[in-house]
Structures are given as C-alpha cells and as structure tokens.
Amino acid sequence: MISIPEFLYRGDSDSKQERHLHELYNPNINGGYSSSGLLMTNLNNSGKGKAIFDTSFQELVQSHVSPGWEKTHFLSFSECEERAKFFGSGGKEYFPYMGENKWDFLLLTFSLNCMTSIYKKEIFHGVYYIEYDTSRIEFNFKAKILLMNLKEYLKELKRLNINILPEQIENVNRDKEWLILPINEFAKGEFSYKIATECINQIDYYTCINQ
C-alpha cells in the first residue's frame, strides 16, 4: 500500500553555497521558483556520483543518516514543517522574508498533488519509485526519483537483521525524515544530481534574526 504524506518539507539555507540556491532562487522572480527549474544535491560540487554503484544502497542511506558525509546523493525532507524550518534556520529565530535585505533560508514543500502524469510504485518497504512530467529537456520531459520513508526503510532493514545503529533510528524518528534520490541517467552512466522542481508545491522564504 502506498502511503505518502500530502506534504513533505525541506528547510534549506545552502550555507556552504554548494547548490547555488541564492543565485537560482529569487522570491521576486518567477513566483519564487528557480529560473533553472531544478534542485541539486551536494553531488553538484565534486561529490562521488559513482559511489552509488560501488556501495550498497543501504550503506549509502545509512551514511546519509549518520553525520560526517556531506556529498550525499540524497536530499532530506521531513513530515514536520517546524523541524524542516529548524534545519533551514540552523536553530536561529526567523520570520517571513518581507522583501528587504536578504533571505537566509527557504522552505520547499514537496507534494504529489502538484505533479502531472504521475506514476508511482512501492519497490521496497518504504521506498517509492515516482515518475512525473517535467519541462526539462535533459530528462526527456520525464523526471524520475526514489522517495524514501526512512523510518519504515530502516525498520525493514532491522527486521532483515542488518545492523542499524541506535542513533540512526533516533535521528530519523526525531526528524521524521524522508529522502529524495534523483535517478534520471546522467553522464557516463551516473545518476543525475538534479531534481526537477515540478515536485515542489510551494516555496517560502525566511530571514533569520541575529545573524
């Protein structure tokens, strides 16, 4: 049975400027959406894209959940809007961007409801294959992603006697974390680091206090 929340949230400041959010996203242009029509994972900046073929999928997921590996194939989202804002703000106080000074983070809302010609299928416990229409020609107008409910995925790994660290379970449960993995083919047999933004239902901008 496919069970995906109506909305998933990502708070994102791109604090290391690895995904060019502040260059590509402008609250006063294009309805706040990126002019490129894309989100990018940290593989965009010298990440090891081929690791997805050299390392087991479950190890890649566990590496993402554990601290220390920043060049991940995935983008994290949360069922909890406030938790997503916490990550976007870095724990600082914040208020909606009012069109003055600069914005510090944006809140991306993922939803199946805004996609067209959607196809979805559960391929493993908590892991969903999703296709949807996109205007991006490099995807042949069809975006492909894996959407993962980390709580259910790790629960299934544990049931299969795969070692899951207690702190990994704790982190995922606290953050109500989901992952998106873009799987359109890219150069030299690698998967793309790009996610077409037709999966994003809404973008909100925020400014932090006491920078």
Rounded to the nearest angstrom, the gap between the alpha carbon of residue 77 and the centroid of all alpha carbons in its chain is: 5
Of residues 206, 177, 182, 178, the one with CA closest to residue 193: 182
pLDDT digits (tens, 9 = 90+) for 87-114: 999 999 999 998 877 899 999 999 999 9
Q: Quick check: 55 pLDDT over 90?
A: no
- Rounded Cα distance, 100 and 45, in Å: 30
C-alpha distance across the termini of the chain, in Å: 45
Contact 161, 79 (CB under 8 A): no
Q: Quick check: 53 pLDDT over 80?
A: no
Tell me what pLDDT residue 66 has. Answer: 64
- pLDDT higher at 87 or 40: 87
Q: What is the dihedral of CA 120, 36, 83, 1, to 10 degrees?
A: 0
Contact 88, 206 (CB under 8 A): yes
Q: Quick check: 64 pLDDT over 70?
A: no
Token duo for residue 46: 């010298």
Tell me how far CA of residue 108 lies from CA of 7, 24, 48, in angstroms.
10, 14, 25
- pLDDT higher at 66 or 108: 108
Tell me what pLDDT residue 54 has. Answer: 62
Tell me what pLDDT residue 44 has. Answer: 47
- Rounded Cα distance, 15 and 23, in Å: 13
- Rounded Cα distance, 148 and 124, in Å: 9
Contact 90, 99 (CB under 8 A): no
Q: Give residues with Cβ within 8 angstroms of 60, minimum separation 6.
A: 51, 52, 72, 73, 74
pLDDT digits (tens, 9 = 90+) for 121-151: 999 999 999 999 999 998 999 999 999 999 9
Q: Mean pLDDT, the chain, as a whole number?
A: 84
Please state which of the ranges 108-112, 170-174, 207-211 shows the lowest mean pLDDT. Answer: 207-211
What's the predicted TM-score (pTM) here? 0.88
Of residues 20, 59, 60, the one with CA closest to residue 36: 20
